[in-house]
Chain A
Amino acid sequence: MNEQISPLWTHLTTEGRMTGTWRSALPNYQNQPSPCLGACPVNGRIAEWIKQVKDGDLQGAWVTLVDNNPFPAIAGRICHHPCETACNRQDLDETVGICSLERFVGDAALAEGWQFPSASIERDQSVAVIGGGPAGLSAAYQLRRHGFAVSLYETRDELGGLMRFGIPSYRLEPAVLDGEVDRIVALGIDLHLGAEVTDNAALTALRGSHDAVFLATGASLPKRLPALDYSRPWVIDSAEFLAAPADEQSDQAGAHILVIGGGSAAMDVARSARRHGREVTVLTLEPEGQLPAQQVEVEEAIEEGVKFVCGAMLQSAETDGTGVKLQCVHVDFETGKNPGEFSVTPLEGSGFELLVDTIIPAVGQDADIDRWSGMFDQQGSVIGTGTDWQTSAPGLFAGGDVASMSRFVTQAVGMGKEAAQAIAASLAPDIALPGADDPAQVPYERINTTYQDKHNRTRQRSRDVKERLAGFDQVQQPLSADKAHSEASRCFSCGTCIYCDNCYYYCPDMAITRLDGGYSVNADYCKGCGLCVAECPTGSIHMQEEKAP
């Protein structure tokens, strides 16, 4: 006969012992912003959409992308990508090629014809948007998604602003621009093309007939160099030059062209002129290596045979029978506190001459705000606004180049988005302003690189120089699907849980439970060791001190 179980045998599991009492800190799952998100002008959720690319979900990635920016194929070509400058991966080897991945996703969407879903509700209120560049289009897009009626007024016969009439097609193909612009228009926008809003009276009328107005007219007035007589036939305005069709560009320019300026516009003029077979010299105030244009633009210009004279200034220009003779001098260049501010000191005895046929100055554009004189306050040379992009005139918002010196396409897109959010929240009580992102971004130290892919960056290939100079075809070649996937796998997913289960398996106390779409910590058992945090590849958990009750 069996006797009672021997009292020598254990008859309980340790689960009755609450080891959680040992602890002074508890892990907390918190998806925190990545540094790239913090740096992105549209606050794109980069870690999230790159993870979707990694998982092969391109459409999901696109949906995530266009939440903040309706132009991924465009941004993927011409964004100045401050996200990459902030990327944590550079502390290991090289930054993630975020921009080329964005292009990959944007191109897939165009190829597949993915469209935006129409607004889930239609609202009675309407907003007038003035200017069909990136700022205006971004605002129109966000307002339509919220169901507001949008009327868009644009001077030109086509939409796109400088994306169409500034940036040349070898950097941004018109078909890509059309594709991403048309998709916004398809949301149902009351379009007024060839409809310049001329003056305060017209603006006031629009304010009266709409619930709010967003002004995004860009910066259209070329800055002038005092040393140059703009009435001379051998001086061409860069904006006009770039806006002209290729054959007109070719007709205008002489054999040897001097481009003045070191920004994107100057590079675009120089490189376009090279494509027309012209000899091109670029004169910049900034010393070599400090040009405001993107590094890749300068490199490609050099490859294409553009010559640079850096750290020098034009003093005078005169014709001398054979051409235009320029007197120049080398300078000491110092940047100022704010974007666009600088000072120069000519270096004595460093004068030199240049002989060219045509001069195309491209030294920046000013916003045309005199047109609206008296309507609202100014802030330096742009329209003054609050952080919500509202001007001093209630209901009148402004963004993009007309209201900021941060002159980039994605900056304009970001301003358009933020203004639209502020307008939406001011018009509809059911729409809340999005909360500010957590300012604490995941630093490199929180990434456990043991678990991260080790391979080096994959770059886009550039078209061969000879082929480039033969026309205006896109220079940067897209990543193949394989390469895109391998580049995406380099992303650390900073602050974004990838459900790898490391925290679950490395917990010595079985205190982590897998949930549908996440994890929870069992405070009864967690001893607060921090191993889950240490072995998390993405920095998605951190320890939080607990105070004794």
Chain B
Amino acid sequence: MEKIDYRDEGRFCSGHVACAGCAEAISMRVILNAVGEDTVGVIVPSCTAVILGGYPMSSTKTSFIHGTLESAGAFASGVKRALRAQGRDDTTVLCLAGDGGTYDIGLQSLSSAAERNEDILYICFDNEGYMNTGGQKSSSTPHKAATGSTPLGKPTRKKNMIEILAAHRIPYIATTSPSHLSDMAAKVKKAKSIRGTKVIFVLIPCLPGWGVAENAAVKTARLGVEAGVFPLIEVEGGVKYSLTVDQKTRRIDDYLGEQKRYNHLSDEDRRELQEEVDDTWARLLARAEAGE
């Protein structure tokens, strides 16, 4: 077996208040350490902000500014420009946000920053809903998943943020998962080395929000990757797609079965979701094969 390939340099601290077993904490640990010391962070309301903060304490040794939910992209742009004015052009600006802050409330500011190709590394912890506020739907919530505000299942499909961002032709977009920590560290390091706007989506199975067991977040994320529900990919320049894990090895049922938010599904529902995954996967493959 291959060992997980990154070094923990102590940039993320014990004592934070993430739920027991939270994969977002595992991922923050990897990201904060992989980005390294020369970093200024921007963080907006979300689970990640709760985990990182709680005035007067911080769970990271990296400096962070807490911004507003709708303005992560703008905050990060400003910080980068201020650093540049100080001659600290090489300092990484790391922006942490949830899916609500990325797909919905902060979409305009992220889009503007991307359009200007601001030199920021933006991480979206995608737990597919407004989770720290009690589990409401976001536009990232997948088709048929139950949330507090869609108790019978969300009637529409998950917004495709990858394609939206790709349309901005930014240099780097990637997805990664807490089941693939070496991949996560490698993608963060790669993104850090690129100038311009970089966005990485991390799949975060939310324990209370999805109805996943305390010890099963990593397993659930892994099943998501293996079922092709959350493909691990990279998009370079907005056009060149490549698959990091190039095989879909399971049916979606294995993934759905780990989560209470899908308990209400009928066999017909499952079939429909499987077809959607197959269709998305086929398109992705075609894109990757067409790659430049």
List residues of A whose CB falls within 8 A of some B CB: 9-19, 22-23, 450-453, 498, 500-502, 505-511, 522, 524-525, 527-531, 533-535, 537
Pair A10/B13 contact, Cβ less than 8 Å: no
Task: Specify the main secondary structure of chain A where it touches its partner.
Answer: loop
In the complex, A453 Cα to B2 Cα: how many Å?
Answer: 10
Given A15-B13, A450-B222, A509 and B4 touching (CB < 8 A)?
A: no
In the complex, A534 Cα to B23 Cα: how many Å?
Answer: 13
In the complex, A15 Cα to B12 Cα: how many Å?
Answer: 10
A sample of 18 more A-B contacts (CB under 8 A), given A12-B56, A505-B26, is A13-B15, A13-B58, A13-B59, A14-B15, A452-B1, A501-B3, A505-B6, A505-B8, A506-B218, A507-B26, A508-B21, A509-B18, A510-B14, A530-B215, A531-B21, A531-B26, A531-B218, A534-B216
Q: Min CB distance, A251 to chain B, in Å?
A: 58
Chain B residues with CB under 8 A of A534: 215-216, 218-219
Given A10-B53, A527-B20, A500 and B3 touching (CB < 8 A)?
A: yes
In the complex, A446 Cα to B174 Cα: how many Å?
Answer: 33
Chain B residues with CB under 8 A of A18: 15
Chain B residues with CB under 8 A of A530: 21, 214-215
Pair A500/B1 contact, Cβ less than 8 Å: yes
Residue of B nearest to A529 (CB): B21
**Could you write out 28 A-B pairs with CB less than 8 Å apart?**
A10-B55, A10-B57, A12-B58, A13-B59, A14-B13, A14-B54, A17-B15, A18-B15, A19-B17, A450-B222, A453-B1, A498-B1, A500-B3, A505-B4, A505-B26, A505-B30, A508-B18, A508-B23, A509-B14, A509-B16, A510-B14, A525-B14, A529-B21, A530-B21, A533-B215, A534-B215, A534-B219, A535-B218
Pair A506/B26 contact, Cβ less than 8 Å: yes
Chain A residues with CB under 8 A of B53: 10
Given A19-B15, A508-B23, A531 and B217 touching (CB < 8 A)?
A: yes
Partner of A13, one of B22, B57, B217: B57
Q: Min CB distance, B6 to chain A, in Å?
A: 8
Pair B20/A529 contact, Cβ less than 8 Å: yes
In the complex, A18 Cα to B16 Cα: how many Å?
Answer: 9
Chain A residues with CB under 8 A of B216: 534
In the complex, A23 Cα to B24 Cα: how many Å?
Answer: 19
Pair A12/B214 contact, Cβ less than 8 Å: no
Pair A509/B25 contact, Cβ less than 8 Å: yes
Partner of B16, one of A14, A450, A451, A529: A14
At the interface, yes or no: B243 with Cβ under 8 Å from chain A? no
Pair B218/A13 contact, Cβ less than 8 Å: no
Pair B20/A511 contact, Cβ less than 8 Å: no
In the complex, A524 Cα to B13 Cα: how many Å?
Answer: 13
Residue of A nearest to B16 (CB): A14
Pair B14/A19 contact, Cβ less than 8 Å: yes
Partner of A22, one of B20, B57, B181: B20
Chain A residues with CB under 8 A of B218: 506, 531, 534-535
At the interface, yes or no: B88 with Cβ under 8 Å from chain A? no
Residue of A nearest to B1 (CB): A451
Chain A residues with CB under 8 A of B222: 450
At the interface, yes or no: B248 with Cβ under 8 Å from chain A? no
In the complex, A535 Cα to B4 Cα: how many Å?
Answer: 12
Chain A residues with CB under 8 A of B24: 508
Most chain B beta carbons < 10 A, residue from A13, A528, A537: A13
Pair A16/B57 contact, Cβ less than 8 Å: yes
Most chain A beta carbons < 10 A, residue from B14, B18, B22, B222: B14
Determine the interface band of chain B, counting residues with CB < 8 A from chain A: 35 or more
Residue of B nearest to A489 (CB): B1
Most chain B beta carbons < 10 A, residue from A14, A527, A530, A534: A14
Most chain A beta carbons < 10 A, residue from B1, B61, B181: B1
Chain B residues with CB under 8 A of A528: 20
At the interface, yes or no: B240 with Cβ under 8 Å from chain A? no
Please report which residues of chain B, range 1-51, place their CB below 8 angstroms from some CB of chain A when the two chains form the complex.
1, 3-4, 6, 8, 12-18, 20-26, 29-30
In the complex, A535 Cα to B13 Cα: how many Å?
Answer: 21
Q: Min CB distance, B222 to chain A, in Å?
A: 7
Most chain B beta carbons < 10 A, residue from A9, A16, A506, A533: A506
Annotate B213-251 by CB proximity to A: 1 below 8 A, 0 otherwise. Answer: 011111100100000000000000000000000000000
Pair A13/B13 contact, Cβ less than 8 Å: yes
Most chain B beta carbons < 10 A, residue from A450, A498, A505: A505
Chain A residues with CB under 8 A of B13: 13-15, 510
Residue of A nearest to B21 (CB): A529
Chain B residues with CB under 8 A of A507: 26
The 4 closest A-B CB pairs, nearest first, are A529-B21, A14-B15, A530-B215, A508-B25
Pair A15/B15 contact, Cβ less than 8 Å: yes
Chain A residues with CB under 8 A of B60: 13
Partner of A527, one of B21, B29, B61: B21
Most chain B beta carbons < 10 A, residue from A452, A507, A531: A531
Residue of A nearest to B12 (CB): A510
Pair B181/A505 contact, Cβ less than 8 Å: yes
Pair A501/B15 contact, Cβ less than 8 Å: no
Chain A residues with CB under 8 A of B16: 14, 17, 19, 509
Pair A524/B181 contact, Cβ less than 8 Å: no
Q: Min CB distance, A497 to chain B, in Å?
A: 13
Residue of A nearest to B207 (CB): A529
Most chain A beta carbons < 10 A, residue from B21, B22, B217, B219: B21
Residue of A nearest to B29 (CB): A510
Residue of B nearest to A14 (CB): B15
Q: Min CB distance, A110 to chain B, in Å?
A: 31
Annotate B181-222 by CB proximity to A: 1 below 8 A, 0 otherwise. Answer: 100000000000000000000000000000000111111001
Chain A residues with CB under 8 A of B215: 529-531, 533-534
Residue of B nearest to A522 (CB): B14
Chain A residues with CB under 8 A of B1: 451-453, 498, 500, 537
Residue of B nearest to A532 (CB): B215
In the complex, A460 Cα to B181 Cα: how many Å?
Answer: 37
Chain B residues with CB under 8 A of A9: 56
Q: Min CB distance, B19 to chain A, in Å?
A: 8
